[in-house]
């Protein structure tokens, strides 16, 4: 990895991910299923967490999950609505951040 790509990741993004193991797990799961999107209950099942906690990571809720540190707000995950259901898919920025975390932190 070159120095240029190290400098392009917002420190706020890295700080949010480092503060939450669950955010990292959700992002890694969505990276693994890419280019497909996944739905909330399936993400929760795949990473062994409660759907309400996963929703907090994705969208933010209350004091526990700050909205501006949520994966969607950070631009790492997008919502895809189809037939009245919401699915979540990693964005290009999200893929770049996962690649960075794998190389730098060995995740």
Kindly list the structural domains of the chain, giving each domain's residue range(s) and its CATH number in brackets, ordered by start: 3-105 (1.10.10.10)
The string of pLDDT tens digits covering residues 35-79 is: 999 999 999 999 999 999 999 999 987 666 666 789 999 999 999
Query: CB within 8 A of 65, min separation 6: which ones?
Result: 56, 57, 59
The string of pLDDT tens digits covering residues 9-22 is: 888 899 999 999 99
**Looking at the chain, how many residues does it have?**
107
The string of pLDDT tens digits covering residues 26-41 is: 999 999 999 999 999 9
Please state whether the peptide bond connecting residue 35 to the residue before it is cis, i.e. omega within 30 degrees of 0. yes
- pLDDT score recorded for residue 1: 46
Q: Which residue has the tokens 């259901």?
A: 85
CA–CA separation, 6 vs 86, rounded Å?
A: 32
- pLDDT score recorded for residue 65: 64
CA–CA separation, 29 vs 6, rounded Å?
A: 23
Q: Which one is predicted more confidently, 6 or 13?
A: 13
| Cα dist from 54 to 9, 13, 40, whole Å | 23, 17, 7
């Amino acid at each position: 990895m070159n120095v240029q790509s190290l400098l392009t990741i917002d420190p706020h993004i890295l700080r949010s991910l480092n503060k939450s193991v669950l955010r990292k797990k959700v992002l890694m799961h969505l990276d693994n299923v890419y280019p497909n999107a996944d739905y909330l209950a399936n993400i929760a099942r795949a990473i062994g967490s409660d759907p309400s906690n996963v929703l907090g990571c994705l969208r933010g809720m209350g004091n526990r999950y700050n909205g501006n540190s949520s994966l969607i707000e950070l631009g790492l995950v997008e919502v895809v609505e189809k037939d009245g259901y919401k699915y979540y898919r990693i964005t290009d920025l999200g893929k770049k951040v996962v690649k960075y975390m794998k190389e730098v932190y060995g995740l």
